[in-house]
């Protein structure tokens, strides 16, 4: 995914679908994107479970939430 497309998601609530290598099931995470570090390959998110870090390579899909839910 292009950097400028991902940068638009910073500060927005998103639905993130991830799939860890070697697993069959996907996980869905709802949270706000805080920071994207392209050099390290990580996305920092703030969710109801707290602050977390996701590897960019494990992200299958990411979609901003609708404005009604913000």
Which helix (H) or strand (E) element contains residue 64? strand 59-64
Q: Looking at the domain assignment, is residue 22 inside a domain?
A: yes
Q: What is the CATH number of the domain that holds 37?
A: 2.30.30.520
Q: Looking at the domain assignment, is residue 34 inside a domain?
A: yes
- Cα–Cα distance between 24 and 6 in angstroms, integer? 26
- Cα–Cα distance between 8 and 28 in angstroms, integer? 20
For residue 41, what are the domain limits? 3-64
State the total domains in the chain. 1
Full-model pTM: 0.80
Q: Looking at the domain assignment, is residue 51 inside a domain?
A: yes
Q: Looking at the domain assignment, is residue 70 inside a domain?
A: no
Which helix (H) or strand (E) element contains residue 6? helix 3-7
Share of the chain above pLDDT 70, in %: 89
Over residues 4-59, the pLDDT tens digits come to: 678 889 999 999 999 998 999 999 999 999 999 999 999 999 999 999 999 999 99
State the distance between the two ends of the chain, measured CA to CA, in whole angstroms. 24
């Amino acid at each position: 995914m292009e950097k400028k497309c991902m940068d638009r998601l910073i500060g927005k609530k998103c639905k993130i679908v991830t799939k860890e290598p070697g697993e069959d099931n996907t996980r869905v995470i709802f949270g706000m994107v805080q920071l994207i570090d392209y050099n390290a390959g990580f996305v920092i998110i703030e969710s109801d479970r707290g602050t977390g870090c996701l590897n960019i390579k494990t992200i299958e899909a990411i979609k901003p939430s609708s404005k009604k839910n913000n």
